[in-house]
Amino acid sequence: DIQMTQSPSSLFASVGDRVTITCRASHNINNFLNWYQQRPGKAPKVLVYAASNLQSGVPSRFSGSGSGTDFTLTISSLQPEDFATYYCQQSYSTLSSFGGGTKVEIK
């Protein structure tokens, strides 16, 4: 099975900050990597798919990069609605798996 490790598990940031979240896969997953945002009490929604492709309707301040085992989600200028928890997910295998999540909190 493929294990996904995210870091940090939480971070504190201010509106306007640049935020970077990393995700590491235990095996080479090429670019079969998705990022999701989850707000409290809500279902997750996809932000980035195939490592670097922005989902339709997602603001351009979100971007993804990486390939193989190391991936990054960047928020270029944090907005109030971005305070949420972010998860990476590998879609390389139909036995999918998620990272542990990164909670972005207000400083």
Angstrom CA distances, 72 to 20, 40, 42, 87, 100, stand at: 7, 23, 23, 11, 14
Verify binding: residue 64, other proteins, rule CB under 8 A.
no
**If binding is defined by CB under 8 A, does position 36 make contact with other proteins?**
yes
What is the chain's length? Answer: 107
Contact between 45 and other proteins per CB under 8 A = yes
Q: How many Å apart are CA 14 and CA 74, to the nearest integer?
A: 14
67 near other proteins, rule: CB under 8 A: no
State which residue, 5 or 77, has the beta carbon closest to other proteins.
5
96 belongs to the binding site for other proteins (CB under 8 A) = yes
Q: Summarize as ranges the residues that interact with other proteins (CB under 8 A).
A: 1, 32, 34, 36, 38, 43-46, 49-50, 53, 55, 85, 87, 89, 91, 94-101
